[in-house]
Structure 1
Amino acid sequence: MIPASRAHRRRIRPRVPRSLLTLCVAIQLALVAVSPGGTSASAAVPAAPRIYVTNQLDDTVSVIDGGTHRVIATVRVGVSPAELAASADGRSVYIANTGSDTVSVLDTADSAIARTIRLPRASKPIGLAVSPDGRSLYTADGGADRVSVLSTRTRRVVASVRVGTQPVSVAVAPDGRRVYVANSGSDDVSVIGARTRRVIRTTPTGRFPSGVAVTPDGTSVYVTNELSGVTVIDAASGTVQARLGEPSPFSVAMSPTGDRAYVTDLGLGNLTVIDTRTHQVAAVVGVGPIGTDPFTARAAGDAIYVANQGANTLSIIDPSTFMATATVATGTSPYGIAVVPAPPTSR
């Protein structure tokens, strides 16, 4: 439910009731090659990424160091921030502020808000996605039954596409040609042609779709339906490939290699791992006790990140062992996650 006022703020949900091995990016010692003349060369080593988490009831974003797992900044944004997405170059993070009909643009260099983009009144943006070329930003406007298309260069709305009822999540195909929108109010997914900016297909899913993600090869679309499990759609034909009866799934994220889909299960405190080759459950990872409320997941590098709304924490899970390697305290009611890799440094 979308909050009506600050005095009676509630967590953003679809219209239904509730029913990271620490990203310890191992900074390797530089390999030193000794030449016959006695000189040495230093190699570039990766630095720790930054993790950005929206705190829905605090109107803030927590900035977390991926190496130390400490909150290094807390940034004030708009009202009821939900999803966020990083720019293609990692210089900006975009935040959808549902309660103030805005998108905040955070400069990752100094963790400051560089600009606030205003959407039409009652847009209530929830989901966000950036095109692979970095030129377009898509917002799922849950209050207006549309997707807004913004230019990341001008930071202005350049198009508006009517979709199903109460869109809450949006994902872009790896080739950038199609945009997928989960419509929680009409139990379907809208497929938008990125060039024409028109809906080219609508696929029924399950009850109250709330999350959508595309496999890295672009062949399958995974949709979480909060009251009826997970639907897997063939991207080419639009037909349903598989249905999994997961309890109260809310969001879905793909592994970087595309072999796994990670699904958060509301209330139960679990993260379900799906093998994308077989469309079967490969593992169930306990994140916390009932009430932990895993809400959103992201997978990047050597870690899976899970925002736990009920516990006000971020779990960092090792994808090779499925063991939690760190738990970071966030603000109140964490929602969205974005991971921005740090540029390599020389040693």
Structure 2
Amino acid sequence: MHPTTIARVLLAGAVLAALAGCSGGSHRKDEAMGSKPPVDHAQQQQQAVQGLPGMPPVLDPHDIYAADRPGELSPVVKDFPSRVYVPNTNANTVSVIDPQTYKVIETIPVGRQPQHVVPSWDLKTLWVNNDLGNTLTPIDPRTGEAGEPVDVHDPYNLYFTPNGKYAVVMASKDRELVFRDAHTMKVAKAVPVSCYGVNHADFSLDGRYFIVSCEFSGELLKVDTEKMKVIGQQKLPFHGAMPQDVKISPDGKKFYIADMMADGMWIVDGDKFGKPSFLPTGKGAHGLYISRDSRVMYISNRGEGSISVFDFQQNRLTDKWHLPGGGSPDMGGVSADGKVLWLSGRYNSEVYAIDTRTGEELARIKVGSGPHGLAVYPQPGRYSLGHTGIFR
């Protein structure tokens, strides 16, 4: 037989085999799945990612936010009423907003200069960081009632280690990272730092380290979670840099750091902790928030009243939404269904509700003076790493 003829016969046979496979493929796949024992995804992912001891297993090594899908509420919070908690730094209060009506339904007196409302690791408590009051005010998100303040010095911001063992207080003026018992807030270890203004952070995919921004000296720290030790430090390559919010990419490979003076965000490889690249986003870049499908990140540009939209897969900005009439969008979070981005208006005594599909302003709500780190609660996720709500 001629070689060309042989090739044609072999090709025809391959095509027929492929067609036969396609015609019954789904049925055979179902049969095969039914004949095998169920896959232990937790065990599979634990083997893929060797996390910090005691940390819940990583659900998906390619998407750190896999537990944050729309409506996927933990049994711990599924019966909590949906609310937006707004700390008013100048008024020493927390405004409570009903997101269905866009109305303030309660105002809670707290300590002096509340900066952020922080969900606890176990999701059961909201901690109000009374920075100048040197206390944390607990709020029961089931009832909305505030409890007795807990003495904690200089609690500008608050995070939790991924295994739930420690709270990490960003003691900005004290120039310390203070590891405390996550429940009693008793000090376990105070770690002095040589930078100024520690304020925001996020943890690596495996939870073994976290990156911290130092607002007043324009620096970044890398901290070993288990050893509670600074293992890296670098100065950002911009004169007058003021790094703010920190978020990790869905694949866990990059950290993004908003910079309100450089007017954009720095992008750094967390493992290598080398020289960062920079992406301009808008004047006064401040807060970073991930969409419920892990596709985009919303960047609040406080100095120009806008929100930039960054697409992770395309690695670029794809949109910018300007608040009608301007404003000062600062800190906040995404609603449980992913449809609304909530941001405080730091210098306008207001809160903005923004449609995440169109960028349309849905509501502008008056609150107390100096609204800052508001928390949308509850949100999807198995546990909280702190700040205004970093859930995994």
TM-score range, shorter chain: 0.7 to 0.9
C-alpha offsets along residues 149-172 of structure 1, whole Å, 9 cap, x if unaligned?
222222222221223211122333
Kindly indicate whether the alpha-carbon contact (under 8 Å) linking 1:209 and 1:225 is maintained by their aligned counterparts in 2: yes
Check if 1:283 corresponds to 2:319.
yes
Shift of the alpha carbon at 1:277? 2.8
Task: Report the CA distance shift for 1:132/1:305 in structure 2 as closer, same or farther (over 3 A).
Answer: farther
Structure 1 residues 129 and 80: alpha-carbon distance in aligned structure 2, compared to 1, 3 A threshold: same
Question: 1:200 maps to which residue?
Answer: 231
Q: Offset of 1:215 from its aligned partner?
A: 2.6
More helix by share: 2
TM normalised by structure 1 equals: 0.78
**Structure 2 counterpart of 1:340, from 350, 368, 377:** 377
Give me the whole-angstrom Cα distance separating, in 1, the residues matched to 2:187 and 2:102: 36
1:156 is the counterpart of 2:186: yes
- Structure 2 stretches of 5 or more lacking a match? 1-69, 72-77, 381-392
- Confirm or deny: 8 A CA contact 1:48 1:342 kept in the other structure: no
Deviation at 1:221, TM superposition (A): 1.0
1:15-94 pair list within 5 angstroms: 49-94=82-127
* CA distance, structure 1, for counterparts of residue 324 and residue 305 of structure 2: 5
2:271 maps to 236
What is the one-letter code of the residue matched to 2:350? T
Hey, what's the Cα distance between the residues in 2 that align with 1:117 and 1:155? Answer: 8
Equivalent residue of 2:358, what SS? coil
Unaligned runs of 5+ in 1: 1-24, 27-44
Task: State whether structure 2 residue 146 is matched by structure 1 residue 113.
Answer: yes
Deviation at 1:298, TM superposition (A): 1.7
Q: Which residue of 1 aligns with 2:207?
A: 176
SS, match of residue 374 in structure 2 = strand
Structure 1 counterpart of 2:65? none
Correspondence for 2:20 = none
Is the alpha carbon distance of 1:104 and 1:227 closer, same or farther for their aligned partners in structure 2, counting shifts above 3 Å? Answer: same
- The answer (yes or no) to whether the contact 1:251–1:296 under 8 Å persists in 2 is yes
Shift of 1:47: 7.7
Change (3 A) 1:113 1:256: same
Partner of 2:39: none
Aligned residues: 297
SS at match of 2:333: strand
Residue 212 of structure 1 is matched in structure 2 by 246
* Distance in 1, Cα, partners of 2:110 & 2:205: 29
1:157 maps to amino acid:
V
Q: Secondary structure at the match of 1:317?
A: strand
Rounded to whole Å, the distance in 2 between the matches of 1:50 and 1:135 is 27
Amino acid paired to 1:62: S
Change (3 A) 1:181 1:277: same
The TM-score, its normalising length taken from structure 2, stands at 0.69
- Residue aligning to 2:56: none
Deviation at 1:233, TM superposition (A): 1.0
User: CA deviation digits over 1:87-146, x for unaligned, max 9?
Assistant: 2343211121121122222221222222322234xx3x3222233444432221110111
Corresponding residue for residue 221 of structure 1: 255
Q: Deviations over 1:158-206 (max 9, x none)?
A: 2212232111223333543222211012211111111000011123334
Whether the 8 Å contact between 2:80 and 2:141 is mirrored in structure 1 is no
Q: Going by fraction, where is strand more abundant, 1 or 2? A: 1
Deviations 1:217-265 (A, max 9, x none): 3222111112112101112211345311232212222223332222221
**Which one of the candidate residues 89, 92, 97 is aligned to 2:130?**
97
Q: Which residue of structure 1 lines up, in the alignment, with residue 40 of structure 2?
A: none
1:3 — aligned with what?
none
Residue 86 of structure 1 aligns to which amino acid in structure 2?
A: P
Alpha-carbon distance, 1:61 to partner: 1.0
Root-mean-square deviation (CA), in Å? 2.4
SS state at 2:132 partner = helix
Say which of 304, 309, 314 aligns to 2:341: 304
Q: Secondary structure at the match of 1:336?
A: coil
Correspondence for 2:365:
328
Partner residue in 1 for 2:169 = 139
